[in-house]
């Protein structure tokens, strides 16, 4: 029946809408996967990015590590394309289909409402026809009965004429009613047939056609969405391809020769290989001598050999493994930097050189080190805060030249900054002089004087470092004995540091040496002892401090602090300008005393 067809169509169109909603859910889950994948890729790229101001950042000067960094950056862009996929699918598919489903539901509801209305109308017409037919049938039967009754009364001679006339009139009335019912039934029948024809040949086909068009639009729409699904992916393929091309390009830019040369430049010492070991003849009744080129050769010992940058020509070959304990003999010295608002410090005045002492056997030094307890405490301070000497004389010649060149360039940049500030203040002063209402010209005089003083000090620093640089590069004669005495402040301070170590003196720039000759021959970075004292008990806190300025803490043993940061004090300034602080269990070091405001605990030991 027609009603069954409507039920079937209603079920089918509902199933079509369910399919569309299922596809919307599928695309939505795909967008969530793309977002999650992009987030994981970004986190992965961020995880392996080098940390700022760390050792990892220095490692990224090699071509291989730069290529890896480029790969990380491209992976970040790669993740961005997956985010684009998610955004486009959400806007072009999920959002559009969701709105279309709502419109489809309304249209479907309207069509089936019209169908039910047409069905109800034809059923009503059918009921009217049935009622008219039953009424016509009833009136015909009533007319037949009235006619038969009249004929019976008319044949009966015992019935009066009045009764016969009454029966005749009743029969005529019933016959007229039957005629009227017949006419009404005929009219209703014609009307019903017309309605039924329109219903089956016009109204219902129109409704079915609309439902069919609606269903076909749904099918076309889901097909277009599937095409869009593929196109969204296809649109980002060129960009993803570029990302992959960049990764390939970065990989092809790796140059093993360049990396090897960078390693050579970074660690090139400039030392000459040691000479042949001389034969020591013990058969002769004379005092045995030790060859100048021997590995245990002391610096000087009655010989006045020329020195190169404060180093002995009999320097150890850098590939020979030195004793870790000897590294403690060369802790560098460096004054703390001034606060940002103050002038740069002048050079440390040169002091007298430590007197040369006769070299002791290495075994005697080792035994003294193993049995001397106070020195261990000093070693810990060396490990925590050792910085290089001002002239970088603890470095090999080539490395020293690089460090001095970097220092000279840095000083020139500082001078330029100070000169720029001076020029700006001079212009401001001229403006104040011409327009007194804008400001007091005398207010900048003090700052101009400070800048002039800073520039002069920086120029003196440049002259000092350029002198050392020229000496290293061979542009000037080697140091005279007088120059050696002037530059021997470091050795004298190193000797004094040993005495202070015996009294538990710790300093970030303190140094330990027993004689000047061993300072040259046995230099090893103090960090070699890092693994020797890691199990030492941490120092107790004696107060707190607040950072007045930001300190970068780039030298070994120092710690970076931010302005306004609160930290713990574990050792106060001993007169060298440094205070030892702690942030947490793993982070402690030295900062310039002038950079912090210290609040000592009165009850601290």
Which residue bears the tokens 């067809």? Answer: 5
- Helix residue ranges per DSSP H, 487-528: 489-501, 516-521
- Is residue 220 within 8 Å of residue 30, measured between CB atoms? no
Instruction: Show the 3-state SS of 7-73.
Output: HHHHHHHHHHHHHHHHHHHHHHHHHHHHHHHHHHHHHHHHHCCCCCCCHHHHHCCCHHHHHHHHHHH
Range 543-600 has CATH code 1.10.357.10: no
- Distance separating alpha carbons of residues 498 and 516, to the nearest angstrom: 13
Per-residue pLDDT, 381: 38
- The single residue listed with the structure tokens 């107060």 is 543
The reply to whether domains 5-259 and 543-600 share a CATH topology is no
Output the CA–CA distances (angstroms, integers) from residue 372 to 378, 496, 499, in the order listed. Answer: 11, 17, 12
- pLDDT value, residue 603: 61
pLDDT at 216 over 60: yes
The share of the chain scoring above pLDDT 70, in percent, equals 71
Q: What is the pLDDT of residue 373?
A: 40
Query: Which contiguous run of DSSP H or E holds residue 364?
Result: helix 362-371
Digit-coded pLDDT (tens) for 56-100: 667 788 899 999 999 999 999 999 999 999 999 999 999 999 999
What is the mean pLDDT of the segment spanning 425-429? Answer: 85
Low-confidence winner among 106-120, 193-207, 577-591 (lowest mean pLDDT): 577-591
Burial class (CB within 10 angstroms; exposed 0-12, middle 13-18, buried 19+) of 263: exposed
Average pLDDT over residues 249-255: 93
The pLDDT value recorded for residue 484 is 40
Report the alpha-carbon distance of residue 500 to residue 506 in Å, rounded.
8
Q: What pLDDT is attached to residue 556?
A: 78
How confident is the model at residue 365, as a pLDDT?
Answer: 40
Residue 377 has pLDDT above 60, yes or no: no
pLDDT category at 103 given cuts 50, 70, 90 is: very high
Strand, helix or coil for residue 290: coil
Whether residue 296 contacts residue 290, with contact meaning beta carbons closer than 8 Å, is answered with yes
Token readout for 463 is: 């002259």
Q: How confident is the model at residue 26 (pLDDT cuts 50, 70, 90)?
A: very high
| Dihedral sign computed on CA atoms, order 282, 287, 293, 294 | positive
Q: Is the pLDDT of residue 290 over 60?
A: no
- 398 vs 449, residue with greater confidence: 449
* Mean pLDDT, residues 451-455: 90
Q: What is the pLDDT of residue 83?
A: 95
Residue 58, Cα to own-chain centre: how many angstroms? 18
Average pLDDT over every residue of 220-226 = 95
Query: What pLDDT is stored for residue 341 in this prediction?
Result: 55
Is the pLDDT reported for residue 239 higher than 80?
Answer: yes
The arithmetic mean of pLDDT across residues 36-63, rounded, is 86
Helix, strand, coil share of the chain (percent; to 5): 65, 5, 30
Per DSSP, 201 falls in state I
Residue 169 has pLDDT above 50, yes or no: yes
Q: From the DSSP assignment, how many helices (H) and strands (E) are in the chain? A: 14, 5
499-525 pLDDT tens trace:
433 343 334 444 333 333 333 343 334
382: pLDDT strictly greater than 70:
no
Q: Is the pLDDT of residue 380 over 60?
A: no
Q: Determine the pLDDT at residue 113.
A: 92
Residues 456, 422 contacting (CB under 8 angstroms): no
254: left (phi over 0), alpha (psi -120 to 50) or beta: beta
Q: Domain residue spans in the chain? A: 5-259, 391-473, 543-600
Q: What is the DSSP letter of 338?
A: P
pLDDT value at residue 18: 95
What is the pLDDT, as a whole number, of residue 428? 85
Q: How far apart are CA 256 and CA 63, in angstroms?
A: 8
User: Lowest mean pLDDT: which of 26-35, 133-142, 207-216, 499-508?
Assistant: 499-508
Q: Tokens representing 237?
A: 């393929």
**pLDDT interval class at 335 (50, 70, 90):** low
Q: Identify the weakest region by mean pLDDT among 81-90, 267-276, 352-361, 432-441.
A: 352-361
Contacts of 249 (CB under 8 A, 6+ apart): none
pLDDT at 521: 40
Q: Is the pLDDT of residue 600 over 80?
A: yes
Q: How would residue 41 be classed by pLDDT, with cut points 50, 70 and 90?
A: very high
Q: What kind of architecture, by CATH, is found in domain 5-259?
A: Up-down Bundle (1.20)
pLDDT score at 575: 80
pLDDT (0 to 100) of residue 529:
41
Residue 363, number of CB atoms within 10 A of its CB: 8
Task: Go through the chain and tell me how many residues it has.
Answer: 605
List pLDDT tens digits, range 401-416.
Answer: 888 888 899 899 999 9
Closest CA relative to residue 151, chosen from 175, 173, 171, 137: 171
pLDDT at 309: 40
Q: What is the DSSP letter of 264?
A: H
């Amino acid at each position: 029946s027609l009603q069954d067809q409507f039920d079937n169509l209603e079920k089918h169109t509902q199933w079509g809408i369910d399919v569309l909603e299922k596809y919307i859910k599928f695309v939505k889950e795909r967008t969530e996967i793309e977002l999650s994948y992009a987030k994981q890729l970004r986190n992965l790229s961020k995880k392996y990015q080098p940390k700022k101001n760390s050792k990892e950042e220095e490692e990224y000067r090699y071509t291989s590590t730069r290529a890896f960094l480029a790969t990380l950056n491209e992976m970040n862009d790669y993740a961005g394309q997956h985010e684009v996929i998610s955004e486009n699918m959400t806007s072009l598919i999920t959002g559009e289909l969701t709105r279309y489903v709502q419109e489809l539901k309304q249209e479907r509801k309207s069509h089936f409402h019209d169908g039910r209305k047409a069905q109800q109308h034809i059923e009503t017409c059918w009921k009217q026809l049935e009622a008219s037919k039953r009424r016509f049938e009833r009136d015909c039967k009533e007319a037949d009965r009235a006619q038969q009754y009249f004929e019976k009364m008319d044949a009966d001679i015992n019935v009066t004429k009045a009764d016969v006339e009454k029966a005749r009139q009743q029969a005529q009335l019933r016959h007229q009613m039957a005629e009227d019912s017949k006419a009404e039934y005929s009219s209703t029948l014609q009307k019903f047939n017309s309605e039924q024809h329109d219903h089956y040949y016009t109204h219902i086909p129109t409704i079915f056609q609309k439902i069919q068009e609606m269903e076909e639009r749904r099918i076309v729409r889901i097909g277009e969405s599937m095409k869009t699904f593929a196109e969204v992916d296809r649109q980002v393929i060129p960009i993803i391809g570029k990302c992959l091309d960049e990764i390939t390009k970065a990989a092809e830019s790796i140059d093993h020769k360049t990396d090897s040369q960078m390693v050579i430049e970074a660690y090139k010492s400039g030392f000459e290989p040691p000479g042949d070991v001389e034969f020591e003849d013990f058969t002769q009744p004379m005092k045995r001598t030790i060859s100048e080129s021997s590995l245990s050769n002391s610096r000087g010992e009655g010989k006045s050999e020329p020195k190169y940058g404060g180093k002995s020509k009999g320097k150890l070959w850098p590939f020979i493994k030195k004793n870790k304990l000897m590294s403690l003999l060369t802790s560098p010295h460096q004054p703390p930097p001034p606060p940002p608002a103050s002038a740069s410090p002048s050079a440390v005045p040169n002091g007298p050189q430590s007197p040369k002492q006769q070299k002791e056997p290495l075994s005697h030094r080792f035994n003294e080190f193993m049995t001397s307890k106070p020195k261990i405490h000093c070693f810990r301070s060396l490990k925590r805060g050792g910085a290089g000497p001002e002239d970088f004389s603890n470095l090999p010649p080539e490395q020293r030249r690089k460090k001095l060149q970097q220092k000279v360039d840095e000083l020139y940049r500082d001078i330029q900054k100070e000169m720029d500030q001076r020029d700006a203040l001079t212009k401001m002063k001229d403006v104040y002089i011409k327009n007194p209402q804008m400001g007091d010209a005398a207010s900048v005089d003090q700052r101009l004087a400070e800048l002039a003083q800073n520039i002069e000090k920086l120029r003196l620093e440049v002259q000092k470092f350029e002198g050392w640089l020229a000496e290293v590069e061979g542009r000037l004669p080697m140091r005279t004995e007088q120059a050696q005495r002037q530059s021997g402040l470091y050795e004298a301070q190193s000797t004094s540091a040993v005495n202070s170590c015996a009294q538990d003196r710790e300093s970030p720039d303190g140094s330990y040496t027993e004689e000047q000759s061993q300072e040259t021959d046995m230099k090893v970075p103090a960090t070699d002892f890092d693994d020797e004292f890691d199990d030492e008990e941490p120092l107790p806190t004696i107060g707190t401090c607040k950072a007045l300025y930001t300190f970068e803490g780039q030298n070994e043993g120092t710690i970076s602090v931010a302005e306004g940061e609160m930290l713990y004090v574990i050792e106060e300034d001993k007169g060298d300008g440094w205070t030892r602080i702690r942030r947490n269990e793993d982070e402690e070091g030295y900062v310039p005393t002038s950079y912090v405001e210290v609040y000592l605990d009165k009850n601290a030991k």
